[in-house]
Structure 1
Amino acid sequence: MTGIEKTGTAKTGTAKTGIEKATVGAPVATGEGLDARLVVERGSFRLDVALTAAPGDVVALLGPNGAGKTTALRALAGLVPLTGGHLRLDGAELDGTRPEARPVGVVFQDYLLFPHLSALDNVAFGPRCQGAGKAEARARAAEWLERMGLAEHASARPRRLSGGQAQRVALARALATRPRLLLLDEPLAALDARTRLDVRARLRHHLAEFEAVAVLVTHDPLDAMVLADHLVVVEDGRVVQEGTPSDIARHPRTDYIAHLVGLNLYQGEAEGHTVRVDGGAGITTAEDLTGPVFVAFPPSAVTLHRDRPTGSSARNLWRCEVTGLETHGDQIRAALTGELPLVADLTTVAAAELDLRPGATVWATLKATQTHAYPA
């Protein structure tokens, strides 16, 4: 991550971003990290999520609205009591510990900076709450603002800061308390697209240097893939899949995850190179498997034809009907139903040449080598 390698539980190296690593607030990664099972019951909703992470790890919680991500984050912060389970950080039990007494820093989605305080005093607020004197707290805050590239904005109040600058002040405020657990709740959601690119890169740099545990909640798969070492996907209050970003992207196990990473996903029974999916359609795959499997392939791998193609080398051919069209980046995404419901991406020129429109009949082809089958 940003030129910094991981060795064991610590991160070593030098970030090649022109920002030198500060000595303040840089805890040594000698603890045991995070070991939690978060059980929270609220009415008919039950959250039951296990999280473990070593010092230096960045864990991203992903999931649809209402899945329980924010509840999990609030439970880690002590803002929501646990109904069951446990919460240990560096070997110490935190359940029952007051939020303000926990070695936890939080960056909220809307940053929640104090509007009447300068950037410097916003950052100094945390150390002051921990008992540091005013001079010591302001000195530590000044070092963190310099580390974030905000030294010249120390006297500015939040309303004079851009979205990216406010995000960095909020991060500095959280890190100035020397937390052993850093919680980030949709930290880039309030930024416009251009600012988001720059702030994501800066945040990646700072998380790479952070030697305690960080937990990130986000709806954005790119934020998760870029910033996190480990992804935990939560649906309906429980973990449905976890792993490295590359593993999650290559082996989705639910429709939500497949949509998140932009893949068509099916579950079925494999017999050799043929997978019979629910509904009866068959998919020819490159892998030779037997038993329950998932099959995934990207929309860009699908080729559409107005007439049944002849002489095609593609092993898969399905008759479909167009149910919808939408702009997807610089391409057109077609939603199809029929023998095999799927989505296909094509250029605007190709869509025009095919005269695609809802209700049109098309033939979809897919090469076996562009599928990926794996055990369910």
Structure 2
Amino acid sequence: AARPPYPPTGGLANTQPLPAGEVEQNSTTSQSEAGVMGHSSTGRAEGGRAGVRFIDAIKEGLFQSMEQHANLVLMGQDIAEYGGAFKITEGFVETFGKARVRNTPLCESAIVGAALGLSLEGFKSMMEMQFADFATVGFNQIVNNLAKIHYRWGQNADVVIRMPTGGGVGAGPFHSQSNEAWFVHTPGLKVVYPSTPYDAKGLLIAAINDPNPVLYFEHKALYRSVSGGVPEGYYEVEIGKARLVQQGEDISILTYGAGVHWATDYAAANTAISFDILDLRTLLPLDYEAIAASVKRTGKVLLLHEDTMIGGIGGEIAAWIVENCFEYLDAPVMRCASLDTPVPFNIELEKAFLAKSRLGEMVEKLLQY
């Protein structure tokens, strides 16, 4: 049968996935994305349609979740008629109505607080943090109220916060930060960070289904520069499980987000080195079993992340490896991270800032140990 048009008209949406060819007509791609990030354009094909963009996978996961949960409410700045800063919710208000797709004031603390209030009244809610940097304005609501309300009062915080994150788009220091480590340090939260379209859709659906508060980090530079296979149906990727990207014997690279693409591109260009690449996917809780297995396969470990070095999650993982896998190590655990400075506006400076610019140097250092 022919697929109905998207978005469906009238009342609640029909349970149909987005058409494969659906695109954001009113959105544009920053020309700096591919140049600064320097990653491959394709992801794994898990079945279903090939060539689905990262941004479309997120949109599809959110749309199908709205169909699945009649009590799911979306909130954020300009997410209704305008479709959000990145057009992910474009068309949603026509399908699901203003009661479920709500524009909000420019007050992140109020939005997160309202999301928690909805949860207390039996709703699910998804809040779009327009940029992950702006989480500072809602920090108290996230780390004190969302994270602790179940521990303290036995109440659910059935809230997902979408966090557009990362650099590589020439957006400067207030729209490019990688701040995932702030929240990994907070018991009571879950933190996920997909790198492929398949995982982007599956992890978003899993986050919305999870009754705990989940911070869902989505890298802006991957939105329209990475594509891959994504099933049409409604599916979950389990929270707390890493993905073995490729198995190797010389060096383990433990990474997530854009770092996965940096690592796989480097491995493809340096085939004489056997890389074991692990995509963490979930940062809280970590998949320690998968981390230990990778360490045992190679004995040499490089932690790669876009976040700055000091206080990044790489330091925590390195400490855990030393405490629990020391006998399997043939070299010190090393980290490759971005510089401990604000994110530069200038594209060339931003390239030098990002961890990718030092990946080759760190690999050689580890190999020669």
TM-score normalised by the chain length of structure 1: 0.35
If each structure's strand is expressed as a fraction of its own residues, which one has the higher value?
A: 1
TM-score normalised by the chain length of structure 2: 0.36
If each structure's helix is expressed as a fraction of its own residues, which one has the higher value?
A: 2
Larger CA Rg, structure 1 vs 2: 1
